[in-house]
Amino acid sequence: MLTGEPVGERHPNAGTPPHLVVFTGSGISVESGIKTFRASDGLWEEHPVEQVATPEGFRADPERVLAFYNQRRAQIRRAQPNAAHKALATLEQDGFNVSIITQNIDDLHERAGSRYVLHLHGEILKARSSVDASLRYPVAGDMTLGDLCDKGSQLRPDVVWFGESVPLFEQACELASQADFFLVVGTSLAVMPAASLLSYIGVDAPCALIDPDADALTPPGVLAINTTAGEGVPALVERWRRQRSLALD
């Protein structure tokens, strides 16, 4: 969900330029030591993804899935926001209008100080009912079999699994359409439906991608910035703070 404001409402200053919308993926969190899914071999921390990140995997062995996410949750709690997370929060604190759309299920943006974060794929520090997605609960420790929602059904991690719809995608598209500058950090833009976000950006809104492989990943019309999130984001933010604008020239 979008932390910091009610779901479905606009960013309070979305109509006042400059409005920076940042779309982040696993490349920003990996620099904080968070391991990611490897699409090349279908493994996530040595687990076949269909066993731990699909509805079918949860139905087949919920205990294994809960244990996997308990490990992930512990890893995320040990991790700390890196220079990229902190730079985006600093830009917001310096008076810029910043909204973040993230594919990541961690809370590193929030811990860095960002207030407007849309978690496209859910949040690992929350649980939801396995029968009613509107019933959500904070997770203080490990999740186990027998943790039930108010309707008596097993709780599951509040994340979007492979094969599930992305409930907040329309809200992400709305945010993208409000951008005066759209910055992509640490994602290949290859996974649908997130890859289609670029089609919602206004024709006059610049777009840039920060990634070590940006040249290979960047579609036409997008500026490639070939560096890591930890180096590229702080450098760009410092430039914008000096200029008091989101210009690149």
Domain ranges of the chain: 2-34+81-121+165-243, 35-78+130-159
Known active-site residue 85: no
Q: What is the pLDDT of residue 44?
A: 64
Distance, in Å, from the CA atom of 61 to the CA atom of 68, rounded to the nearest integer, reads 11
Give yes or no for a cis peptide into 212 (omega within 30° of 0).
no
| Cα–Cα distance, 41 to 98 (Å, whole number) | 35
Beta-bridge partner residues of 118: 2, 101
Query: In the predicted model, is pLDDT for residue 40 greater than 80?
Result: no
Give the per-residue pLDDT at 1. Answer: 45
Q: What is the pLDDT of residue 201?
A: 96
Residue 57 — φ and ψ, nearest 5°? Answer: -65, -40
> Strands 207-210 and 47-48, how do they pair?
unpaired
Residue 249 has pLDDT above 80, yes or no: no
Could you please state the CATH topology (level 3) that the domain comprising 35-78+130-159 is classified under: SIR2/SIRT2 'Small Domain' (3.30.1600)
| Correct CATH for 2-34+81-121+165-243 of 3.40.50.300, 3.40.50.1220, 3.40.190.10, 3.40.50.880 | 3.40.50.1220
* Distance of alpha carbon 178 from alpha carbon 205, whole angstroms: 9
- Residue 161 makes CB contacts below 8 A (sequence gap 6+) with 53, 54, 55, 57, 58
Say what the pLDDT of residue 10 is: 42
Per-residue pLDDT, averaged over 97-117, amounts to 98
pTM given for the model: 0.90
